[in-house]
Structure 1
Amino acid sequence: MPALRCGSKIIECEGVIFDKDGTLIDSFKIWPDLIKARVKILQREIGFDNEMARLLEKTMGLNEGGIIRRSPIVVGSREQTAAAMATMLFVYRGIPWDAGMEKVNRAFDLCDQEMGLACQAQPFPGAQQTLKNLFEAGFKLAVATNDDMERTYALMEYAGLAPYLHAYACRNEVERAKPAPDLIYLVCRRLGLDAGQCIMVGDSPLDIQMGMNAGVYMNVRVLGRALCKEEITGSNVITINYITNIIPFLL
């Protein structure tokens, strides 16, 4: 039967559930330009000075040193990131919060249109080959993400990963975002598997906590800029350095 080698660990499972940003897609490389573009469009739409622009960039998660770990863009959903922005507009500009949400969401949508999603779909080196190998070995593969469905489908298509994915679960389809188990429960139903037959692969503490809350067989931490080695430990948590360390083989 097929099994996985994750670092030095041998795992028997049927499904592999991946986080998207920071796990399959090199989001930390993309996010600085995305954040700046979102703020520039919002500045164009409603008008504010450059000091406010820098504050809004930091609110999303960008400062002089790059992307801030565990900031809204890293661990939050698109909706949560927009809410943080709307709160800043309410506090510093006096824009009613609901009106601010409408303006921020419009700016996010305009940003995707003007930048295009193709430039945001940069997979990590080896991600496509890793998914292809797992797919051909007979594993059921899925993505569970705090992003919305339309963007996720498009990004996976542009990244060349969609042909190897059997199912998706996205934030706009469930009641609760990560680290609640809702996304995993949904994607497991779509895969026709129980959570205990799957592993969760992610780079964020929220990914690993979600997997633990859902009762997956094993949680695989991919070390990156969102997760330190010391964060989230347990008997069903293992650590790998790169997604290419997930290798299928026959027992």
Structure 2
Amino acid sequence: MTALSHLRGIIFDMDGTIVDSGLDFAAMRKEMGLRSGVPILEQLNELSPGERAEMETILHRHEMAGADRATIIDGADRLLAALSDEGRPMAIVTRNSTETTAHTLSRLKIDHFFDIVICREDGPHKPDPWAILEICRRWRFAVDEVVMVGDFELDIQSAVNAGCPSVLYTEGKPPEQVPGADLATHVAVHLNDLYHLLAPGQDSI
């Protein structure tokens, strides 16, 4: 048994964790006239309704372009298939829109792996713990029976706020270079590391 193979459910972030849509957040902020270093959704909440609608149009264009070019991160499809074979439910929690998330998952033919998909329109978004707690409610699992897997500090902070274990996937980068590593229960540098944390088998993906 591996470190997290006893957990009943697995919650994934989408972009940067299982798919790569190549979104350039710096370019998005520049086009919208937003500040650097502050998440886009939080800045949109500061705008008037008219300004926000204008910015959301720009955001949607970038996200749809990302959905059209998105690719599966190498090994993620095999990881999902291995976990699915074990019968453990999986969910997605993303700050992306419902439309772009559905398009991405469907286009890459991985939507069938996920029991639940929660996007930014569905409720308070990460780092708020609402989505994790809502998934636990639907699955009827205790919060410490699930794990949140993501590539960004907001993913890990949402797990901390919910009270569940977490895995920071660094996409090959040294953990000390990735914000949130100090908060994560576990760190996976490569997809193989993530597999060995989550799956009971010892073979590589």
Q: Same fold (TM over 0.5)?
A: yes
- Would the alpha carbon gap of residues 172 and 57 (structure 1) be closer, same or farther in structure 2, given more than 3 Å must change? closer
In 2, the alpha carbon distance for the partners of 1:250 and 1:112 equals: 36
Match of 2:170 in 1: 223
Q: Retained in 1: the 8 A contact 2:10–2:90?
A: yes
Once residues 4 and 63 of structure 2 are traced to their aligned partners in structure 1, the CA distance between those partners, rounded to angstroms, is 40
Check the 8 A contact 1:127/1:244 in 2, yes or no: no
Partner of 2:190: 242
Choose which of 55, 61, 83 in structure 2 pairs with 1:104. 55
- In the alignment, does 2:14 pair up with 1:17? no
Deviations 1:1-57 (A, max 9, x none): xx5x3xxx4541111111112111224xx113x875x68xxxxxxxxxxxxxxx437
- For 2:127, the equivalent position in structure 1 comes to 179
1:136 positional shift: 0.5
5 Å-filtered alignment, 1:152-191, equals 152-174=101-123, 176-191=124-139
Distance 1:12 1:142 in 2: 17
Query: Matches of 2:93 and 2:125 in 1, distance apart?
Result: 10
> In 2, are the aligned partners of 1:144 and 1:187 still within 8 Å (CA)?
no
Are residues 200 and 118 of structure 1, via their aligned partners in 2, closer, same or farther at CA, if it must alter by over 3 Å? Answer: same
Task: For 1:99, give the aligned amino acid.
Answer: G
Confirm or deny: 8 A CA contact 2:167 2:188 kept in the other structure: yes
Q: Quick one: structure 1 residues 192 and 168, their matched pair in 2 at CA, closer, same or farther if it must change by over 3 Å? A: farther
- 8 Å CA contact 1:117, 1:155 repeated in 2: yes
How is 1:15-164 mapped onto 2 (pairs within 5 angstroms)? 15-27=9-21, 30-32=22-24, 55-56=30-31, 59=34, 71-72=37-38, 76=39, 79-80=41-42, 83=44, 97-111=48-62, 115=65, 117-119=67-69, 121-164=70-113
How far does residue 130 in structure 1 lie from its aligned partner after superposition? 0.5
Q: Residue type matched to 1:102 in 2? A: A
Match of 1:210 among 154, 158, 165: 158
Please list every run of 5 or more consecutive structure 2 residues that lacks an aligned counterpart in the other structure.
none
CA contact (8 A) 1:19 1:201 kept: yes
Residues of 1 paired with 2:179 and 2:130: CA distance?
A: 26
Moved over 4 A (4+): 110-113
Query: If each structure's strand is expressed as a fraction of its own residues, which one has the higher value?
Result: 1
Using the alignment, how far apart are the partners of 1:109 and 1:180 within structure 2?
22
Q: Percent identity of the aligned residues?
A: 21
Secondary structure of the structure 1 residue equivalent to 2:166? strand
TM-score (norm 2): 0.79
Q: Is the 8 A contact 1:221 1:240 kept in 2?
A: yes
Larger radius of gyration: 1
Number of aligned positions between the proteins: 197
TM-score, normalised to structure 1's length?
0.66
CA contact (8 A) 1:200 1:220 kept: yes
Match of 1:44 in 2: none
